[in-house]
């Protein structure tokens, strides 16, 4: 998504803080709205409901930050869960094939 927005020259609307100087530019509202709509188009229905409370509010940076925070938290949660599973693994020297299969199944 960042790459596509960058290709369209819209990545600044999600990657950098929106300064008052940026907001004063005549094209700011239109490009911010375009960026927001582009992100909305790529959200599942569940994520659209999760992240968009008002379809009349166009704030690409806030939307992107909320999406990023949500999925980064999930990534950290998944990493912690994976580490818990990793430490629970017990290898049976007599049956390594079974141990390997159980390890693969855990992930």
Q: How many CA atoms lie within 13 A of 49 on its CB side?
A: 3
Number of domains in the chain: 1
For residue 88, what pLDDT is reported? Answer: 65
Range of the domain at 7: 2-106
Return the number of other C-beta atoms located less than 10 Å from residue 36's C-beta: 23
> pLDDT tens, position by position, for the chain (107 residues)?
899 999 999 999 999 999 999 999 999 999 999 999 999 999 999 999 999 999 999 999 999 999 998 888 777 777 666 666 666 666 677 777 776 776 665 55
């Amino acid at each position: 998504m960042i790459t596509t927005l960058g290709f369209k020259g819209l990545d600044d609307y999600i990657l950098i803080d929106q300064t008052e100087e940026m907001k004063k530019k005549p094209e700011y509202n239109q490009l911010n709205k375009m960026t927001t709509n582009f992100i909305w188009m790529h959200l599942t229905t569940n994520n659209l409901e999760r992240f968009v409370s008002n379809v009349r509010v166009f704030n690409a940076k806030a939307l992107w930050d909320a999406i990023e925070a949500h999925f980064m938290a999930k990534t950290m949660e998944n990493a912690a869960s994976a580490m818990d599973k990793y430490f629970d693994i017990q290898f049976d020297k007599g049956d390594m094939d079974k141990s390997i299969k159980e390890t693969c199944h855990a992930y």
